[in-house]
Structure 1
Amino acid sequence: MRDDQQEELARLAAAGDNAALEALLAGIRPRVLRQCSRFLPCYQDAEEACQDVLLQVARNIRNFEGRSKFTTWLHVIVANGSRQTYRTLKRRAAEQGYAEMPVEVADARTTSVIAGSRLDLLDALERLEASRAELVAPMVLRDICQLDYREIATHLGIPEGTVKSRIHQARSQVREYLLAGL
């Protein structure tokens, strides 16, 4: 689905058009799943996050005011939903007595090292959120969702220079966490 079609369906859905909402959800599902997969290395976890994101879109579409593009609004929901799914999975693992989240043994010949680094990044973002929460959203929107600085500034309601500064600070802090092995 093209972005302009999404924008129109989002506008109609925000105004209460249920048919537009259904079409929007069906149209964005593949994109949402791909984006959730950027955060979560396990396909089943990405699917769970995708379902949660689609539910959040359906519940909150009336709050979409069109001040930013729908895709920007969606990126924020995807980032938050994926990170929330990761926190839930970590909590479940802890409740079941695991020191860390259980990971299926994978064949090293077919598994990318990126999967492990994504989990490390999510842990680092969680740690950063605990100490400097205002730095997390700009970095996630830029480095994971790949939005440009202007879109991030518009969405967050802060100057573009502040966005760049926060991203720089976040990257430095996350780099320290990753180098220290969390």
Structure 2
Amino acid sequence: MQFEEDSFYVEKTKNGDLKAFGKLVQKHQGYAFTLAQRILNNHHESEEAVQDAFVKAFQAINSFEGKAKFTTWLYTIIYNEAIQRFRKRKNHSDIEDFREDCEFHSNQLDGFSLLNSNERKEILKEGLSKMKPAESAVLTLFYLNQFSIKEIEKITYQSNSQVKILLHRGRKNLYDILQRQTKNELSQLL
């Protein structure tokens, strides 16, 4: 399906066109669900979080001034909704812990490029589901949704250094998870 620019639908929605907001939902629901899923790691709860976030976005659409991209504004709402649900569910403090220092070498994933695209997606999806929500969400925003660090700062209310630490630590942790996962699968084959 071919979509117009977000600003086109935003203006129509502000003028009372409900179908225009429906187009925004269709356009962004996949990435919205992926972000919520990375935080909540629960399909049903992620669907509910995304639905509630879209309702909140619709109710607040007139407050969107266009100073940032619409997706930054929308993903902030989705992120906040998912984090709020996560905190209620687990009263978890790991989401605020950003002090670990680690090192990651991207060239260590060269063998990963040998797998076909669908296999890679499934392996990454499984690896991301085993990570801390903050790391998984930031990796998803940066790599899958291709948001800049500055945009991620706005969405997550984290400082530049905190986002970079989450990216750094997230890459390292994802690498470790994928390495363990691969070793387990190889040992089962032998």
TM-score surpassing 0.5? Answer: yes
Mapping of 1:106-145 within 5 angstroms? 112=126, 114-117=128-131, 121-122=132-133, 125=134, 143-145=139-141
Tell which deviates more after alignment, 25-34 or 163-172. 163-172
Structure 1 equivalent of residue 161 of structure 2? 165
TM-score (norm 1): 0.55
Contact 1:37-1:46 within 8 A present in 2 as well: yes
Counterpart contact for 1:56–1:77, Cα < 8 Å? yes
CA contact (8 A) 1:40 1:86 kept: yes
Residues 39/68 of structure 1: CA separation in 2 closer, same or farther (3 Å cut): same
Structure 1 residues 141 and 164: alpha-carbon distance in aligned structure 2, compared to 1, 3 A threshold: farther
Matches within 5 A, 1:11-160: 11-90=11-90, 112=126, 114-117=128-131, 121-122=132-133, 125=134, 143-146=139-142, 147-152=147-152, 155=154
The verdict on how the C-alpha distance between 1:163 and 1:60 changes in structure 2, with shifts beyond 3 A counting, is: same
Cα distance in 2 between the residues matched to 1:54 and 1:35: 13
The Cα RMSD (Å) is 3.7
Q: CA deviation at 1:63?
A: 0.9
Percent identical pairs in the alignment equals 23
Contact 2:53 2:81 (8 Å CA) reproduced: yes
Change (3 A) 1:69 1:2: farther
* 1:82 to partner: Cα distance: 1.1
Instruction: Please state how far the C-alpha of 1:47 moved relative to its aligned partner.
Output: 0.9
Quick one: distance in 2 between partners of 1:2 and 1:141? 27
Question: In structure 2, what residue type is equivalent to 1:164?
Answer: N
Q: Structure 1's 149 and 31: CA in aligned 2 closer, same or farther, altered over 3 A? A: closer
Whether 1:7 and 2:21 are equivalent positions in the alignment is: no
CA distance in 2, matches of 1:45, 1:73: 21
Amino acid across the alignment from 1:55 = V
Number of residue equivalences: 133
Distance (Å, rounded) in 1 between the aligned partners of 2:46 and 2:159: 28
Task: State TM-score, norm by structure 2.
Answer: 0.53
